[in-house]
Structure 1
Amino acid sequence: MDENLVFDLTRQALWIAVRMSAPLLIVALVVGVVIGLFQALTSVQEMTLTFVPKVALMLAVFWVTMSFMTTTLAGFFTDQILPQIIGS
């Protein structure tokens, strides 16, 4: 196994990790900004106001995108990792 191959597989794995985590991180960012603006406008400083909606929406997005994440990770494993294991 060549070191360039290891670097290429690592780069691809990191890119897949970014693609898989992007929907959850985007939802957390948007919900956090919206709730932060709401708290700043209304002067309501309740900690559970930020935590509960963010967690609930992240769980919903995770549930919706779970098939995408599983397909992406399984595809990477079968297309990239398994041929390297079998070939060596």
Structure 2
Amino acid sequence: MQDALFYDVLRQGLWVAVLASAPILAVALVVGVTIGLLQALTSVQEMTLTFVPKMAAMLAVFWASMGFMSLTLGRYFTDTLIPIIEGF
């Protein structure tokens, strides 16, 4: 495999990973900042108060965006990796 092809496939794979994980990470960031602000305003410092809502929100977004993630990963596999494997 040529170096340029290897790095191009690696770059595309990393971009697909970013796209697939972006919805979950964005929701975790928003919920974490919101709960942190709420804790700072009320002076309540409970660890489970940040963990449980963040996990629930991430699980809900994962369930809602599962189709998008599967489609993105499947398209990368069929459009990029399979032709390269067939070429060798």
Q: Shift in Å at residue 74 of structure 1?
A: 0.5
Q: Shift in Å at residue 73 of structure 1?
A: 0.3
Counterpart of 2:64 in structure 1 is: 64
Counterpart of 1:86 in structure 2 is: 86
Instruction: Give CA deviations for 1:13-68 in whole Å, capped at 9, x if unaligned.
Output: 00000011111110010000000000000011111100000000000000000000
Q: How does 1:38-77 map to 2 (within 5 A)?
A: 38-77=38-77
Provide the identity percentage: 65
Query: 1:10 aligned to 2:10?
Result: yes
Q: Shift in Å at residue 12 of structure 1?
A: 0.2
Distance 2:63 2:49 in 1: 22
- Number of aligned pairs? 88
Unmatched 5+ residue regions in structure 1? none
Distance 1:47 1:2 in 2: 50
* TM-score, with length taken from structure 1: 0.98
C-alpha RMSD over aligned residues:
0.5
Unmatched 5+ residue regions in structure 2? none
